[in-house]
Structure 1
């Protein structure tokens, strides 16, 4: 199972809620059961969203799970993955089940209890 946390460094909801939540989940849930992956999706302020800035950001916020960078689309504001999955913005949380199917896409902050229930439900499903 995979949790993909889509974020942007300058997103207050990402910095204050969804990224700390993803860090906690990554630390508490065994990696063999759930992989946490970040996706830095830049759709504004491109000039300050550099790979070097992302590296410092990850270090400062204790992000140790892998983070991919969404590919920009030439001449477009919305990057590739954000467009493909019709994401509304950041933060967005994507849950992928054990069979590789996207089961949940949530825009905005997800309550800890609700996210825990969703993860628990998907983890309890048979392979």
Structure 2
């Protein structure tokens, strides 16, 4: 019997829950899978742009090399660019930085950062 996977977009959570789960994962990699879902749900569904960007940047600058959260942070910046139509200077600097790291060493940052940077360029008509 084959199991069928179902894809579901995670919901946005209350900000205090997001902060707690992301901080926990940044301190202990065992919590990264749950944090990944939280970050995606925030990027796709939270309506407060500054909160979305702040946590994409926090994760993208604080996660350790090799963490899947690094590539995911870059991808989520692409989601934010699509949803909000602009990004802060800090987020605009991080997106190409994560993509460059992914191109240089995919064991450092995975390729989702490249996809996210492509989205930033496409949706914001930059570079």
Q: Which has the higher helix share?
A: 2
Indicate whether the TM-score tops 0.5. no
Q: TM-score, normalised by structure 1?
A: 0.28
More RCO (CA 8 Å, sep 6+): 1
Q: Which has the higher strand share?
A: 1
